[in-house]
Amino acid sequence: MADVPDHLLQRSRERRKALGLPVEGEEGAEAPAGETPAPAEGEATTGAVGPAAGGGEATGGGEDVETPGGGKIPAHLLERSKKRRATVGGEGAATPAAAGAATAVAAPLAPTATGPGGHTQRLLTVVKSGSIQQTRAEAQDKVHTWPHLLVTEFAAVLIVLAALTIFSAVVKAPLLGLADLNKTPNPSKAPWYFLGLQELLTMFHPMVAGVTIPGVGLGLLATAPFVDKNPSHKPKDRKFAVAIFTVFVMLWSILVIIGSFFRGEGFNFVFPWNNGIFFDL
């Protein structure tokens, strides 16, 4: 059963007290026989029955009446209350016995949910607007892999392949002649991207230069994402990762530069401005 508003319950209790009817939770005193209970304060302006200033009925007939709390009382409820008060007032003016009988009969009356004409009255429950409105998924900044991504990547692969093919056909690679055991080039240098490793071989044992040092460097680079888990893309927030990568790049760049421009015949250390450059692209 729906809950009845508090202001209606309070008004019902006040009216039952005025009529001398028992109130739930309180000991009600019956009104003296032959006396018509006086209307409660404020009822003359809400459609209550009683003599008005001009001898007519109270205002508010046929219209909803606004209560001091901001709510409204339907007109049909006011009409029903008026009829009930007229009935109770007529019975109370007859005899004390009749008044007592009317009180005894009216006491067990319970609130009913049926209004005039047998219409059932219901109270609407306050429901949040979000629960009855149709919800739609919010737009997301995402696209499908196919065809949006793969088509673009496939087009990029075709462009790079075409450019590489044209460049290889037009530009000749600086290849040396066939290897000759009787004529070994001096100095014999590896390609530039391996000159850093060749430079390490001139300083350390092959096990240290070829396995230990490169392994430690690659291991530090591999563990950097697990140590520095900051998702920020700003260099000031990724100091550990930036420091590790900078040390690795600078160290390897220095070794490549020394092997390319500062190594002469016999792979000895020379100054390029004195002995020239012993390096071919």
pLDDT digits (tens, 9 = 90+) for 120-171: 555 555 556 555 566 666 767 777 888 888 999 999 999 999 999 999 999 8
Q: At what angle do helices 6-19 and 75-92 cross, to 10 degrees?
A: 10
Quote the tokens at residue 112.
């009913």
Of 108, 113, 115, nearest in space to 24 by CA: 108
Does residue 34 lie within any of the structural domains?
yes
Q: Quick one: pLDDT at residue 107?
A: 46
Quote the tokens at residue 44.
């003359």
State the average pLDDT over residues 17-44.
56
Greatest CA span in the chain, whole angstroms? 147
Query: Which stretch of 97-101, 205-209, 276-280 has the lowest confidence by average pLDDT?
Result: 97-101
Query: DSSP letters along 55-90, please?
Result: SSPPS-TTS-EE-TTS-EE-HHHHHHHHHHHHHHHH
Of 63, 19, 23, 61, nearest in space to 44 by CA: 61
Verify that 21 and 108 share a domain, yes or no. yes
Verify that 10 and 116 share a domain, yes or no. yes
Q: Quick one: pLDDT at residue 165?
A: 95
Does residue 54 lie within any of the structural domains?
yes
Q: Quick one: pLDDT at residue 215?
A: 92
Structural domain that includes position 52: 6-121
Does residue 138 lie within any of the structural domains?
no
Amino acid code (one letter) for 155: A
Do 115 and 76 touch, CB atoms closer than 8 A?
yes
Q: What is the pTM of this model?
A: 0.40
Look at residue 275 and tell me whether its pLDDT is greater than 50: yes
Does residue 126 lie within any of the structural domains?
no
Amino acid code (one letter) for 17: K
- Domain containing 245 — which CATH number? 1.10.287
Quote the tokens at residue 227.
């140590």
Counting Cβ atoms within 10 Å, is residue 220 exposed (0-12), middle (13-18) or buried (19+)? middle
If one compares 99 and 269, the residue with the highest pLDDT of the two is 269
How many whole angstroms separate alpha carbon 74 and alpha carbon 67?
11
Instruction: Give tens-digit pLDDT for 47-87.
Output: 433 433 333 344 444 677 777 766 778 888 888 888 888 88
Confidence class for position 37, pLDDT limits 50, 70, 90: very low
Does residue 142 lie within any of the structural domains?
no
State the average pLDDT over residues 24-31.
53
* Cβ atoms < 10 Å from Cβ of 278: 19
Look at residue 176 and tell me whether its pLDDT is greater than 60: yes
Quote the tokens at residue 190.
């590896």
Look at residue 3 and tell me whether its pLDDT is greater than 80: no
If one compares 65 and 273, the residue with the highest pLDDT of the two is 273
The dihedral over CA atoms of 152, 153, 155, 158, expressed in degrees to the nearest 10, equals 170
Instruction: Give tens-digit pLDDT for 254-267.
Output: 999 998 899 988 88
Place of tokens 């004529």: 183
Does residue 51 lie within any of the structural domains?
yes
Q: Which of 35-49, 61-75, 160-174, 227-241 has the highest average model confidence (pLDDT)?
A: 160-174
Question: Which residue, of 75, 90, 121, is where some domain finishes?
Answer: 121
Question: Which residue, of 121, 145, 164, is where some domain finishes?
Answer: 121
Place of tokens 């420091």: 243
Does residue 265 lie within any of the structural domains?
yes
Quote the tokens at residue 247.
């040390």
Verify that 101 and 17 share a domain, yes or no. yes
Quote the tokens at residue 216.
């430690």
State the average pLDDT over residues 203-232.
88
Q: Quick one: pLDDT at residue 73?
A: 80
Verify that 117 and 23 share a domain, yes or no. yes
**Helix, strand, coil: what percent of the chain each, to 5?**
50, 5, 45
Do 6 and 25 touch, CB atoms closer than 8 A?
no
Verify that 90 and 190 share a domain, yes or no. no
Does residue 29 lie within any of the structural domains?
yes
Q: Chain-wide mean pLDDT for the chain? A: 74
Domain count, the chain: 2
Verify that 107 and 16 share a domain, yes or no. yes
State what percent of residues in the chain have pLDDT above 90.
Answer: 16
Question: Which residue, of 87, 121, 155, is where some domain finishes?
Answer: 121
Q: Quick one: pLDDT at residue 57?
A: 40
State the average pLDDT over residues 18-30.
66
State the average pLDDT over residues 10-27.
78
If one compares 235 and 45, the residue with the highest pLDDT of the two is 235
Q: Name the 3-class secondary structure at 168.
A: helix
